[in-house]
Amino acid sequence: MDTPEHFQAILAKGHAIPTLLCGHCQSTLSRTRMFLNQGDARVDTLCQTLAACSADDCGALNCCDSALSELENPDLVRQIAS
């Protein structure tokens, strides 16, 4: 993809470790590629938490707010699969 597109991240069901998937290609989104939408990294969207897909042929930008809100325990955010 030449231009980043915005998709909604998906919380994978049935995983022992909370896992976010790219809303475009369903690849696992790495915790290391998640960032808050603020400061120098600000993207023109209402989303607070974003993740860039690292799949070679994807590169989509994913809004993680909805997927993260599905977690029963907000402290699990730190345990998102990397």
Q: Give the pLDDT confidence score for residue 40 in this predicted structure.
A: 85
Q: Helices in the chain by DSSP H: which ranges?
A: 65-69
Low-confidence ranges of the chain (pLDDT < 70): 1-5, 74, 76-79, 81-82
Residue 51 contacts residue 57 (beta carbons within 8 Å): no
